[in-house]
Amino acid sequence: MPRLTDRDHLLIGFLALARYLTSKQLTRLVFPGKAESTASGRLNQLAEASDPYAPLRRLSYRTYEGKIVVVWTLTKVGYRIAEELVGEVKVPRQDIGSDFLEHSTTCSQLFVYLAQKQSRTDAAELPTRFRWLASEGQGYPYGEYDQVHGKRRDRLLQPDAVLEVPLARRRFFIELEMGTHPITSANEEKAGATLAKVDRYDQFLHGFADVAGKDTWYAKSFSDRFTAELLFVVKSPKRRDNVNEALAERRKGRVGPQPAVRALTLSDASRELRELVGAPPRTTEERPFPPPQPTAQPPPSVPLITERELHVLLNAHTSFLDIVHRQHELHRSITKDGKAPPFPFEPYPKETNEAAEVLDAIYQRLVAAKKKGN
């Protein structure tokens, strides 16, 4: 393991809190003003695969556009180092799947915005005015009554992150909405639906954990009695408005305590929460979910096979069948009684018919592509 610098300790501390951060996010936090390639060079040194004492590991995921995004996390060695910086940290038993890395690092973007300094040239510091609890390794038990089967079932609430602001005595349960789930659904199997999540939080925050009705599940997990709020972080103002409208409809006609819940865009959430934690506003407007940029049309792809090449294969296949057929007839004609003995080998390969179908399918696709091009 290379000798660790103060900057190395800082990025290890950030990874212990956020669990997974991209090269770009770590560059903003720890290598401000540096090129991402410069930061990646040091990160790769700290994640040397052949070094059993390497504090970092390198992961990646592929976006829908096909871009590879590099993600960094800590090894067990890294977590031991981190405990000296941020205190006890729950070590995840395993990595999340690559399908969830994008979701996790997008949620971590809010953490990055809160931790960043006002200027883009100043390195961030490990947060002291707020606490960030990533979802990995965190879970909060609660129970709910299953009316279908007539018994209580144990559940586990797993927010995408939890933000605690001790001076304000407020706790935010953060759910990142990527827009892939419906806002509401009559199907109980749609557990990812926004309002279904609200119902689960309602039970966790206000449902009683004991028969006497003294403590809620929330109070059982958090004895500090901070004011709790559910915050949906969404990717667009339109989604924000739709979610808030559905939440307003949910409140109508309901009695008793209801969860404090609302939706904000990532940009709005970063501004509001930076003010809450006492951080000065950023000098530039954040653009967490930039609209997709128009891309140039790719050059026409070269076909895997040309029409001429296909005709060569078709002719070869037909000629092969003719040759085998003539040999078969010759073999039959040279017998005295007109009944030929069996061939010492199979006259036709078993894939002969299938090969003809494949060649015909390729031919039909070429014809269709040619018509479309015209």
Q: What is the CATH number of the domain that holds 109?
A: 1.10.10
Are 198 and 247 in contact by the 8 Å Cβ rule? The answer is yes
Q: Is residue 260 part of a domain?
A: yes
Residue 79: its pLDDT value, please?
93
| Bridge-based pairing state of the strands 56-62 and 68-74 | antiparallel
CB half-sphere exposure, 349, CA atoms < 13 A: 9
pLDDT at 343: 56
Cα of first residue to Cα of last residue in the chain, in angstroms, is 62
Asked whether residue 236 falls in the same domain as residue 165, the answer is: yes
Is 66 domain-assigned? yes
Do 39 and 23 form a contact (C-beta atoms < 8 A)? yes
- The candidate with the shortest Cα–Cα distance to 228, out of 168, 186, 286, 277, is 168
Among 126, 151, 172, identify where a domain stops: 126
Check whether residue 246 and residue 342 sit in a common domain.
Answer: no
Ranges of residues in the chain with a pLDDT under 50 are 189-190, 284-286, 292
CB 176, CB 107: distance < 8 Å: yes
Give buried/exposed letters for 219-242 (b at 16+ CB in 10 A, else e): ebeeeeebebbbbbbbbeeebbeb
Q: In degrees rounded to 5, what are phi and psi of residue 138?
A: -110, 145
61 and 164: one domain?
no
Report helix, strand and coil shares of the chain as percent, to nearest 5. 40, 15, 40
Task: Report the distance separating Cα 126 and Cα 292, nearest Å.
Answer: 32
- 141-168 as b/e, with b when 16 or more CB fall inside 10 Å? ebbbeeeeeeeeeebebebbbbbbbeee
Residue 193 lies in a domain: yes
Beta strand pairing call for 131-134 and 140-146: unpaired
With respect to residue 21, please indicate whether it lies within any of the assigned structural domains: yes
Both 9 and 97 in one domain: the answer is: yes
β-pairing, 161-165 vs 151-157, is unpaired
Residue 191, pLDDT score: 52
Q: Give me the pLDDT at residue 128, please.
A: 92
pLDDT at 146: 67
Phi, psi of 152 (to 5 degrees): -85, 140
- What are phi and psi for residue 351, nearest 5 degrees? -90, 10
- Please enumerate, as own/partner, the contacts of 193-198 that have beta carbons within 8 Å and a separation of 24 or more: 194/232, 194/243, 194/246, 195/246, 195/247, 195/250, 197/230, 198/230, 198/247, 198/250, 198/259, 198/261
Q: Can you give the pLDDT at residue 284?
A: 47
User: Is 24 within the bounds of a domain?
Assistant: yes
CA 24 to chain centre: 16
Residue 85 CB burial class (10 angstroms; 0-12, 13-18, ≥19): middle
Same domain, 150 and 281: yes
Counting Cα atoms < 13 Å in the Cβ hemisphere of 225 gives 1
Both 119 and 10 in a single domain?
yes
One domain for residues 15 and 62: yes
pLDDT of residue 55: 94
Is residue 232 within 8 Å of residue 183, measured between CB atoms? Answer: no
- 53 plus 83 within the same structural domain: yes
Rounded Cα gap, residues 203 and 272, in angstroms: 27
> In this structure, are 143 and 230 located in the same domain?
yes
Same domain, 205 and 184: yes
Residue 134 belongs to a domain: no
Burial (CB count within 10 angstroms: exposed 0-12, middle 13-18, buried 19+), residue 263 = buried
Q: Looking at the 3D structure of the chain, how many domains does it have?
A: 3
Q: Does one domain contain both 112 and 175?
A: no
Give the structural domain span for 228.
Answer: 139-289
User: Looking at the structure, do residues 284 and 311 belong to the same domain, yes or no?
Assistant: no
CA distance 104 to 71: 10
Joined tokens for residue 82? 């981190």
Helix (H, G, I), strand (E, B) or coil at 234: strand
Task: Tell me which of 244, 261, 289 is where a domain ends.
Answer: 289
User: Is 294 contained in some domain?
Assistant: no
Domain assignment present for 210: yes
pTM across the whole model = 0.71
Which strand ranges, in their side-by-side order, compose the sheet holding 68-74?
A: 21-22, 68-74, 56-62
